[in-house]
């Protein structure tokens, strides 16, 4: 398991609310490497990490789920066929091998 992401209008404010309630911040709010999207990471009591993403006006707060898989093409095929997801992008990343992002189509469920 990698992490899941939750969208919010204001990452810094959300992180402070979580911190005030005892949450462990593992990455302070700031832009992603090479990008503009502001993110932060929180760790839950069981050690699972979740990402807070700044996406103002988003209707769906659960923005993404990231999984580490052994066969990326097989995983993409499964999520496209079984869950109706659409491949948004796939790119090589030296630190994490290959990254792909899929989106759940709102009319699927």
Is 60 a residue of the active site?
Answer: no
- CB atoms inside a 10 Å sphere around CB 89: 9
Give the whole-angstrom CA distance, residue 17 versus residue 55.
Answer: 17
- CB atoms inside a 10 Å sphere around CB 103: 14
Catalytic hit among 43, 51, 54, 95: 51
Q: Decide if 54 contacts 13 (C-beta within 8 A).
A: no
Positions marked catalytic: 51
């Amino acid at each position: 398991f990698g992490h899941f992401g939750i969208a919010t209008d204001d990452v810094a404010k959300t992180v402070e609310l979580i911190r005030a309630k005892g949450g462990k911040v593992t990455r302070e709010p700031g832009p992603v490497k090479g990008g503009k999207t502001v993110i932060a990471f929180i760790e839950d009591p069981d050690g699972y990490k979740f990402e807070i993403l700044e996406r103002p006006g988003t209707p769906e707060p659960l923005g993404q789920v990231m999984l580490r898989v052994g066969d990326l093409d097989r995983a993409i095929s499964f999520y496209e066929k079984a869950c109706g997801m659409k491949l948004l992008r796939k790119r090589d990343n030296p630190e994490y091998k290959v990254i792909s992002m899929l989106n759940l189509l709102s009319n699927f469920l």
